A = this chain, B = another copy of it.
Amino acid sequence: MSEKFDLAKWLGDSTEKVNRSLDFYLPPEDQKPIVLHKAMRYSVFAGGKRVRPAILLAAAEACGGNAEPALPLACAIECIHTYSLIHDDLPAMDNDDFRRGRPTSHKVFGEGIAILAGDGLLTEAFAIASRWDAVERYSHKNITAELAYHSGSLQMVGGQAIDLESEGKAISLEELKYIHERKTSALLCLSTRLGAMSANATPERLEALTVFGYKVGLAFQIIDDILDITQSTEKLGKTAGKDVQEQKATYPALLGLEKSKTLAAELTQEAFSSLDIFEGKAVALSALAQYLLKRDH
Contacts and interface: CB of A to CB of B under 8 A. Distances in A.
Interface stretch (A52-60, A113-121, A226-234): A113-121
Copies of this protein in the assembly total 2
Given A141-B130, A152-B124, A92 B119 contact: no
A113 B144 contact: no
A179 to B, nearest CB: 10
A111 B229 CA distance: 32
Contact of A164 (B83, B116, B129, B165): B116
Given A35-B161, A127-B145, A115 B92 contact: yes
A152 B120 contact: yes
A31 to B, nearest CB: 8
Given A126-B147, A139-B140, A164 B120 contact: no
Contacts of A36: 153, 157-158, 161
A40 to B, nearest CB: 7
Given A140-B144, A157-B36, A127 B149 contact: yes
Nearest to A90: B115
A123 B124 contact: no
A37 B162 CA distance: 11
Interface residues of A, number: 52
A173 interface: no
Interface in A42-88: 83, 87
A123 B122 contact: yes
A127 to B, nearest CB: 4
Contacts of A108: none
Contact of A151 (B33, B123, B152, B153): B123
Contacts of A100: none
Given A36-B157, A148-B130, A93 B122 contact: no
Interface of A: 27, 31-33, 35-37, 40, 83, 87, 90, 92-93, 110-116, 118-120, 122-124, 126-127, 129-131, 134, 139-141, 144-145, 147-149, 151-154, 157-158, 160-162, 164-165, 178
